[in-house]
Structure 1
């Protein structure tokens, strides 16, 4: 009567039983009819449907999905079931600790400022040596717009080169701090570099010396002099 055994065929051709509703038996019967030539009046087809459900464990899977759905409705926004997150909270070790204040000393702030200026000079020197355009970093400043309102705008930082050549075409470098030459020794602010190509390497050495505190005295004197100028004139003198 059939091309093959109905029970085996329906079970073999309905492997996606998990994707079908428990009531959608018509689909299973249609599949069996198309594959095996059986009709929906055959009792063997009905038996095969029950057999297929048992083979694939569909009833157990549906029951499991129902339990998961019920459990999900009892979970809060943290993803824990009600009462479950309380055990996690009790396991935490709480404290009233606060981050330690890490205020920097005036000497440390002066070093960072000088190191930042030296790094810019190194980038400017490398761009000059390589023959490319130097792109300065940007900073936020206050400006008055057309409506007379003070606004914050981003503008490129003005970076001036701190080296020059003497009559013998020897390059000299001057460290700047607070817009003024930093006096390294009494009456001396320039450092002989030689060819301009040596300047980036020289600046690397100066940065390490600043970090080591070798220029702390010079920076302290420069800060004191700047303070005297500010107190006397209200603003530092231009170079």
Structure 2
């Protein structure tokens, strides 16, 4: 019993599900993590294609579960001036970081991975919640019309 006495015991109830804002944060954080993996793979000359499960019917009508590569599009591109531009996306919506500005300009491609890591930290801290909510509302408005 002395071992249990050395632990900090608390009375807590596990929430049934996470609040929607935390779910959205986690979704964006996961997508940024994928972009970091893709950027690291491209900088090393490789490819990054995680596998996803897909159900397909064969000729007899049996459903089979196959592992297929997941297509991940990079959120960055090289601008005509030679600088790298990074766009943040939530689903299919581009996040407008500041009024009228939706891209982050980087001087060198080497700055891409540290910038993505900073953004991921900001998302997990809740600094981009207002942008995520705006994108969510835009999607909702599309369904109302």
TM-score over 0.5 for the pair: yes
CA gap of 1:149–1:188, structure 2 versus 1, over 3 A, is: farther
How much does 1:149 deviate?
4.7
| Alpha-carbon shift at residue 126 of structure 1 (Å) | 1.4
Question: Which consecutive unaligned segments of at least 5 residues does structure 2 have?
Answer: 1-10
Aligned partner of 1:82 in structure 2 is: none
Larger Rg: 1
Q: Which residue of 1 aligns with 2:95?
A: 182
Equivalent residue number for residue 22 of structure 2: 108
Q: What pairs with 1:19-168 in structure 2 (closer than 5 Å)? A: 100-132=14-46, 134-168=47-81
Greater strand share, 1 or 2?
Answer: 2
Give the structure with the higher percent helix: 1
Q: State the aligned residue count.
A: 135
Shift of 1:181: 1.4
1:206 aligned residue (119, 137, 144): 119
Structure-1-length-normalised TM-score:
0.52
Q: 1:149 to 1:182 in 2, by over 3 A?
A: farther
Shift of 1:150: 4.6
- Structure 1: runs of 5+ lacking an equivalent: 1-96, 233-239
- Decide whether the 8 Å contact of 1:178 with 1:226 is kept in 2: no
CA contact under 8 A between 1:174 and 1:182: conserved in structure 2? yes
With normalisation by structure 2, the TM-score equals 0.82
Other-structure match for 1:52? none
| CA drift at 1:171 | 0.2
